[in-house]
Amino acid sequence: MASVNVDGDDRVHPLNAPDIELSVRQTFGFDTDMTVPAFSVGSDYVPIVEDSYVFDHDTTMSVLAGFAFNRRVLIQGYHGTGKSTHIEQIAARLNWPLVRVNLDSHISRIDLIGKDAIVLREGKQITAFREGILPWALQNVCALCFDEYDAGRPDVMFVIQRVLEVEGKLTLLDQSRIIHPHDYFRLFATSNTVGLGDTTGLYHGTQQINQGQMDRWNVVSTLNYLPHDEEMKIVLSKVPSYDSEDGHKTISAMVALADLSRSGFIGGDISTVMSPRTVITWAENLEIFKDIAFAFRVSFLNKCDELERPIVAEYYQRCFGTELPETGVKIMGA
């Protein structure tokens, strides 16, 4: 996507409103009569379409409701499940401009709202107010997505609270100006927690979110780990070189190991979870190293606590029938 220019000298999209309707059945393959507004042409702010992307039904329908009916949509779930890329790939198919902002602890109120800055006008240096990303997006045909929404600082979160209402206007106190949202401005967010803080120990740095703010999200969708076959489809779409009989067996065993790690986490046996992103990374590293055990070690095993590695190595043995040194089992030579 293009770099964001907030000075107002470029257009986010050549059209000021959607000019076509897309069938959800034809575009996304889901059994529904729903249609969604879209643009017939794209722009530099529209994400690139990934043709092999695999969509989750519930998450996709939630995001489409956000685009079609101006719902504020929050997608919550474990890491590496494709929360942000779902929004990105839906926007790509609608030719809808999208800007993603990582709401980490370094994002300040000034970054979102704007600040006075020295600019050149007619050859002279003057002090002028430069809008931040929030008022810029609010005034344009644009979808704004806040990633890591539950990691935002409390003072920053209250800036967002007003625009969470569909008709939410943004008041710029320094400018004594009220900004009205564009008819086709859309707002999304992704988070690992559901606003109640980190209850799993996996997501340090996340915050509890004010429940008054959580109440303003019209749609909250959960995207956690998918069934075995669905996750296989996602991995194969990312690493198509394994689309063979042997490749399918390898990917199936990888996903089975990931499932064991999740069961082990739920049961309290291990504290590190293998995400779909990790499985994809493992498959990609296997292409590089040509050694499935070594690729597994550098992709996941070395990230685990040393005391838990024998358990994870046992999961590997169950799925691949091969012992790793971490199991503590000595393999006798011939």
pLDDT tens sequence for the chain (334 residues):
555 555 544 579 999 999 999 999 999 999 999 999 999 999 999 999 988 888 999 999 999 999 999 999 999 988 778 899 999 999 999 999 999 999 877 788 888 887 767 777 778 887 776 788 888 999 999 999 999 888 778 878 888 887 887 677 777 766 677 888 999 999 999 998 765 555 565 665 567 777 778 888 999 999 988 889 989 998 999 999 999 999 999 999 999 999 999 999 878 898 888 988 999 999 999 999 999 999 999 999 999 999 999 999 999 999 999 998 876 555 444 4
* pLDDT value of residue 198: 58
* pLDDT value of residue 213: 80
Q: What are phi and psi of 110, to 5 degrees?
A: -65, -40
Whether residue 293 contacts residue 330, with contact meaning beta carbons closer than 8 Å, is answered with no
* pLDDT value of residue 194: 63
* pLDDT value of residue 183: 93
Q: For the domain covering 20-222, report its CATH number.
A: 3.40.50.300
Whether residue 273 contacts residue 78, with contact meaning beta carbons closer than 8 Å, is answered with yes
**What pTM did the predictor assign?**
0.81
For the chain, give every domain's residue range: 20-222, 228-327
* pLDDT value of residue 300: 95
